Copies of this chain bind each other. A is one copy, B any other.
Amino acid sequence: MDLRRLRYFVAVAEARSVGKAAERLRMAQPPLSVQIRKLEAEVGAPLFRRGTRGMDLTEAGQALLVRAGEALALAADGIEAARAVAAGSRGRISVGYMFVLANAMLPRLIPELRRSIPGVDLDFAELSASTREARLLDRSVTVALCMPAIHHPEIQVARIGAQPFMLAMPNRSPLARLSAVPMARLQGRPLIALPPPEQDPASSAVAALLRRHQIVMPIASRVETVHSAMSLVLAGEGLAILPACAKLGAPQGIVFRPLREASDSIDIAVCWRRDSQSPLIRTFLKCAEKVVARL
């Protein structure tokens, strides 16, 4: 059962003549005649009534014609769809992002993506750092928005921006009256910390910052998300050192202040599998860079 045969069959059925169909198919009449007879042999029944003025479908031929036409269309659509997916004009891109970046990036990123790649399904999932890495590796997400980047031999990283660390505190805190907080003022104050470095690399950047300035902050609580951290800060449980963009999702009553002697920042990066050959990743990267530039 060959698709070429079916194509020839459809052509002959539509032209109601072998000769006319051969002309339209840019081939000679005899080989076309042969192919039709081979198809009939394969089916085991005549598909055409041969008249003196051309060919006419039998009932069996009519039954075949419908399916053959659909099969041809499906096959053509299939390779077209594959091409479109390969070219990035169709398909799906699944994005794993981290919680802090949701408020800062998604409201601008999603419309930007819809404009750039209108035929593509978007799929966003808020994932922890370790889950993002795992899902990138098993390909269940296409790209990850990370802060900081994932380091892994299979994973490619593009740095698209950085966020300075800022101190988050309740607005009734005495430190809130300063326009920038000297590092020394943090000494001994309770810290609301994120998961330890082995689970969340962002924490190691904070730890490094404090270590460099020889500041010790007792850990009042460890929380999973920046959102929880800010809630505890608001409750007066302690201070948090967070990327500046966390401000965008902060509740009323939290203020952010820069740290005077520290110019430390944390990278925002797009990460994907090295062997992902989807052209959508390039486009995604462009969009993400554009959004971060206006942060």
Residues of A with Cβ closer than 8 Å to B? 1-4, 6, 42-47, 49, 58-64, 66-68, 70-72, 74-79, 81-87, 90-92, 275, 277-278
Contact = CB atoms under 8 A, between A and B. Distances in A.
A78 B6 contact: yes
B82 A63 contact: yes
Nearest to A75: B71
**Of listed A45, A60, A72, residue having the most chain B CB within 10 A:** A60
Report the copy number of this chain in the oligomer: 2
Nearest to A6: B75
A105 to B, nearest CB: 24
The interface residues of chain A, by DSSP majority, are classed as helix
A83 B71 contact: no
A43 B82 contact: yes
Given A71-B71, A75-B1, A91 B59 contact: yes
Nearest to A64: B82
Contacts of A2: 2-4
Contacts of A278: 59
A10 to B, nearest CB: 11
A42 B234 CA distance: 61
Given A60-B82, A66-B78, 9 more contacts: A44-B83, A47-B82, A59-B85, A59-B92, A60-B85, A61-B82, A63-B78, A64-B81, A71-B78
Contacts of A61: 82
Nearest to A46: B277
A277 B60 CA distance: 10
Q: Kindly list the 7 A-B residue pairs having the minimum CB-CB distance in the complex, ordered from nearest.
A: A67-B78, A45-B86, A3-B3, A71-B74, A64-B82, A60-B86, A71-B75
A249 B101 CA distance: 83
A133 B59 CA distance: 20
